[in-house]
């Protein structure tokens, strides 16, 4: 029971490809993640957001 840490998909907001995974910490529960990362599909840096399950 203890130590269950859900993994989040991090998707490119442009092409919706899942490029990264991240661990969701307890305290950041409500806030939507937004990261600027390199997308290999778009071949550029784009905004990545937390994906839906
Ligand atoms: Zn992309």
Q: Could you give the domains of the chain?
A: 1-24+33-53 (2.20.28.120)
13 CA from centroid of ligand 1 (Å): 7
14 CA from centroid of ligand 1 (Å): 5
Question: What distance in Å separates the CA atoms of residue 37 and residue 39, rounded to the nearest whole number?
Answer: 6
Q: What is the pLDDT of residue 49?
A: 93
pLDDT tens, 2-53?
667 778 889 999 999 999 998 876 665 567 778 999 999 999 999 999 887 6
Q: What sign for the dihedral angle of Cα 5, 25, 31, 21?
A: negative
Q: How far is CA 6 from CA 9, 14, 53, in A?
A: 10, 24, 11
34 CA from centroid of ligand 1 (Å): 14
12 CA from centroid of ligand 1 (Å): 5
pTM of the model: 0.72
Question: What distance in Å separates the CA atoms of residue 48 and residue 17, rounded to the nearest whole number?
Answer: 9
């Amino acid at each position: 029971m203890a130590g269950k840490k859900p993994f989040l998909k991090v998707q490119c907001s442009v092409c919706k490809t899942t490029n990264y995974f991240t661990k969701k910490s307890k305290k950041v529960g409500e806030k939507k993640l937004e990261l600027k990362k390199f997308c290999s599909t778009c071949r550029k840096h784009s905004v990545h957001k937390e994906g839906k399950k």
